[in-house]
Amino acid sequence: MPEFAAVDVIRAKRDGGVLSDAQIDWVVDAYTRGVVADEQMSALAMAILLRGMTGPEIARWTAAMIASGERLDLGSVRRPTVDKHSTGGVGDKITLPLTPLVAACGAAVPQLSGRGLGHTGGTLDKLESVPGWRAALSNREFLDQLADVGAVICAAGDELAPADRKLYALRDVTGTVEAIPLIASSIMSKKIAEGTGALVLDVKVGSGAFMKSVEDARELARTMVELGGAHGVRTIALLTDMSTPLGLTVGNAVEVAESVDVLAGGGPADVVELTLALAREMLAAAGLPDADPAAALADGRAMDSWRAMLRAQGGDPDAKLATAAETELVRADRDGYVERIDAYRIGVAAWRLGAGRARKEDPVSAAAGVVLHRRPGDPVRAGDVLYELRADDAARIPAAAADAAAAVVVAAAPATPAPLILERIG
8 A C-beta contact, residue 216 and residue 343: no
Of 209, 204, 210, the C-alpha closest to 237 is 204
Of 37, 93, 10, 65, the C-alpha closest to 272 is 93
8 A C-beta contact, residue 130 and residue 100: no
Q: Which of 13, 60, 115, 190 is catalytic?
A: 190
Using CA atoms, how far residue 250 sits from 3, 172, 264, 361, in Å, is 49, 24, 19, 21
- Counting Cα atoms < 13 Å in the Cβ hemisphere of 153 gives 33
Q: Which residues lie below 8 Å from residue 179, measured CB to CB, with a gap of 6+?
A: 45, 48, 49, 171
Q: Which residues lie below 8 Å from residue 377, measured CB to CB, with a gap of 6+?
A: 337, 338, 414, 415, 417
Whether 20 is catalytic is no
8 A C-beta contact, residue 86 and residue 278: no
Whether 84 is catalytic is no
Whether 204 is catalytic is no
* Residue 11 CA to its chain's centroid (Å): 34
Q: Which of 83, 164, 202, 342 is catalytic?
A: 164
Q: Which of 13, 171, 204, 301 is catalytic?
A: 171
Q: Which of 60, 84, 85, 218 is catalytic?
A: 85
Whether 190 is catalytic is yes
Q: Which of 42, 185, 186, 189 is catalytic?
A: 186
Whether 86 is catalytic is no
Neighbours of 422 (CB within 10 A): 17
User: Residue 21 burial by CB count (10 A; 0-12/13-18/19+): exposed, middle or buried?
Assistant: middle
Active centre residues (catalytic) = 85, 164, 171, 186, 190
